[in-house]
Structure 1
């Protein structure tokens, strides 16, 4: 069985800069029915695993984790998200709600809530930051927790004279009227609380909906090395099918979310889970997604068509059909775009970000912060400058928040050949001239000793949960 061609316009990639000559992507060779000319079968993802190298409630929304929230916080119940900046219902209705269903409400002190006039202020001024973590609170199903909003502080508007979206107003494909709000919405989704009934046991922890926990604690059959092999294989499949990079990152996120929410997954099910995640992500993001038969072929029929369909149903149910998760790759592209960065620098940042997919330690880090740190590292490696007011304006992060993670990512890149010496798919991919030979660009000097474990700063890792 042959893989069908999915991209008929690969010979003329779009160029983001007029003075950058982008090499033409190599063409796929026409094949016939001869078995010798058929695509090379990819390795089974987990076939070489045996040789792989050897809350406090409410603390998730703190600034140390790189999260930002609106000045109007939300009230969380088992089935409902309520904007607490609006006028609360009368006491009778509140009592009925508490009596009818066991409701957990988180309210903002009304004396600290923003006025109606402030809630309609311009997009540039509506990000707020929690300056310090909230104190520990024991929460029961019927408790009411009052959160003081006196730690929220409005960010200073940076670089007001520069408006990238206004410059793109003439391009209808740039959706400049909505671009700022779209990414502000993605940032807000990083701290959207879980309210699903099937996760009622987690409600005591108030975990943000798309943030992945240390799920290896509930997956006794899985290891970090297994996940790294799986991520390396998913990058290979993305290249084989010529899928968008957004598809890869969404598939990786779906895989982590599934493993985080379904305990005791067997090792033999990993490839089926990853294939299903790629299949779902492709249907969400691709114009012409791969067929189920394509995944069966690439996995050498290690599962049946019916098994993948059943897993698709289960995965969508587990994530509550919510595919609008924030992705670090989307943030990275936005940051590079507003800075009018050349394609070579963006590709270098993509290489760093794609390498991080193999490292389980970086799973809990905010996607917006990961994109910012990879971009900072790329512009420093290319000696194109440093963090500036434009980046502060469009990322919401200052240098002191991004730089610690950037140095940890640099240490990750230095240690990658030693930690995962056989997992070279991303490295080989970005050595090619199509990707500007990004893997050959010298790394920054490592500020950590080789004995330092790979991972984010402690306040951004699993210990921050």
Structure 2
């Protein structure tokens, strides 16, 4: 590495400058040229040209350039070149043909990989992150990788269908518990993520711990919300508040013991992809308005107490809720951009949409009204009272979706 002194640099002078007063020079000293540069701006192993720095190259917006899919050409005379490189002049014809076949397989694999990578060229997909480059909080450079990772996490933390079979706790008891937790969540004014994470913790704990009694089910629910609050909230409620909200049916010590039990059962992993995460991404892809987004949130929360919906993936619930919302409010299509960013077509979502429609019809006469009452407020645009939820479109979809 070239030293700074050999090239005429003085680190002290470069940092503090030459504004400390006149300096007496006794003799002329032959030294190299001093480059005008910011302090410590060019320190490194890279050599600096004595002619100065080159003009900065204008950045190219690579993200907006659409790549062109080109088919790789087959190299000529594969057998001859391979035979010469191998050092064997008399390689048999069969061996060379085998090598050619292996190279053909590699070329086909490359073509398939490129076709998947550029499959969006066949769709009318809009780049919804094109204008977000200047906002570092939106991480537009790797936001797609983040959601790809969230979908991978979904596969590793699934809730099995009908996981309560054979347990003392039933689906009806689960619905009553979650309906009460919605009221507790509203009373404590917690974040939306806290409610979804609470339900996710409850389902995954009950799926593993199959000996929970009825008397301990409420303790499981309130402790799950306590854990979710500490994970999501900036200022989580005190443990005494959770003991008080149960009408002092459980003590603070019992909540702490259940907290340790839940965390050990879940291997201290409470980081799950939530439907709300995917809904925000899908709403951005669909350029939806506030009413469409709020209705999709209402539909997702209606699904929380339903035992028949707990095994669907969070991304599927979010996409189906938004598709249902667009269909009911103004009949907007599930376009190519939404298909690409949600990774679901309308045909794939239709079974879930029909079940959501059945849940909407059921909510009219259901005993669990916490979610419906929550979305009757002005803050939630009174979305649960809109006449579109009683339309013939909803009733027809509900006839196709059976709640079991």
TM tier relative to shorter chain: 0.5 to 0.7
Whichever of the two has the greater Rg, that structure is: 2
Q: Is the 8 A contact 1:255 1:273 kept in 2?
A: yes
Cα offset, 1:339, TM superposition: 2.0
Question: How do 1:430-445 and structure 2 match up within 5 A?
Answer: 430-441=375-386, 442-443=388-389, 444-445=393-394
Q: Tell me: CA distance 1:365–1:155, structure 2 relative to 1, closer, same or farther (3 Å).
A: farther
Q: Tell me, yes or no, if structure 1 residue 246 matches structure 2 residue 193.
A: yes
Cα offset, 1:445, TM superposition: 3.2
1:191 is aligned, of 144, 155, 180, to 155
Q: Is the 8 A contact 2:296 2:325 kept in 1?
A: yes
* Greater relative contact order structure (CA < 8 Å, 6+ sep): 1
Structure 2 spans left out of the alignment, 5+ residues = 1-104
2:178 is aligned, of 222, 231, 234, to 231
Residue deviations 1:168-225 (CA, integer Å, cap 9, x gap): 2222221222221111111111222xxxxxxxxxxxxxxxx33334222131x22221
Q: Tell me: CA distance 1:293–1:446, structure 2 relative to 1, closer, same or farther (3 Å).
A: same
Cα offset, 1:116, TM superposition: 9.1
Q: Tell me: CA distance 1:309–1:340, structure 2 relative to 1, closer, same or farther (3 Å).
A: same
Cα offset, 1:276, TM superposition: 1.1
1:3 equivalent in structure 2: none
Q: Is the 8 A contact 1:190 1:366 kept in 2?
A: yes
1:301 equivalent in structure 2: 248
Question: How do 1:94-109 and structure 2 match up within 5 A?
Answer: none
Q: Tell me, yes or no, if structure 1 residue 216 matches structure 2 residue 164.
A: yes
Q: Is the 8 A contact 1:331 1:367 kept in 2?
A: yes
Cα offset, 1:353, TM superposition: 0.7
1:178 equivalent in structure 2: 142
Q: Tell me, yes or no, if structure 1 residue 317 matches structure 2 residue 281.
A: no
1:283 is aligned, of 186, 205, 230, to 230
Structure 1 spans left out of the alignment, 5+ residues = 1-110, 127-153, 193-208, 456-465
Q: Tell me: CA distance 1:383–1:264, structure 2 relative to 1, closer, same or farther (3 Å).
A: same
Q: Tell me: CA distance 1:184–1:449, structure 2 relative to 1, closer, same or farther (3 Å).
A: closer
1:417 equivalent in structure 2: 364
1:141 equivalent in structure 2: none
Cα-Cα RMSD: 2.6
1:402 equivalent in structure 2: 349
TM-score, structure 2 normalization: 0.68
The structure that is helix-richer by fraction is 2
2:294 is aligned, of 342, 347, 365, to 347
2:403 is aligned, of 454, 459, 464, to 454
d(CA) in 1 for partners of 2:223, 2:112 = 44
TM-score, structure 1 normalization: 0.59
The structure that is strand-richer by fraction is 1
Q: Is the 8 A contact 2:296 2:321 kept in 1?
A: yes
Cα offset, 1:156, TM superposition: 5.2
Q: Tell me: CA distance 1:448–1:313, structure 2 relative to 1, closer, same or farther (3 Å).
A: same
Residue deviations 1:316-363 (CA, integer Å, cap 9, x gap): 111111222121121112111222222221111111110111110011
Q: Tell me: CA distance 1:445–1:214, structure 2 relative to 1, closer, same or farther (3 Å).
A: closer
d(CA) in 2 for partners of 1:363, 1:157 = 35
Counterpart of 2:279 in 1: which secondary structure? helix
Question: How do 1:6-405 and structure 2 match up within 5 A?
Answer: 159=123, 162-192=126-156, 209-219=157-167, 221-383=168-330, 385-405=332-352
Q: Is the 8 A contact 1:374 1:406 kept in 2?
A: yes
Q: Tell me: CA distance 1:240–1:449, structure 2 relative to 1, closer, same or farther (3 Å).
A: closer
d(CA) in 2 for partners of 1:397, 1:453 = 21
The ranges of structure 1 where at least 4 consecutive aligned residues each deviate by more than 3 angstroms after the TM superposition are 114-119, 154-161, 448-453
Q: Is the 8 A contact 1:326 1:367 kept in 2?
A: yes
d(CA) in 1 for partners of 2:125, 2:172 = 48
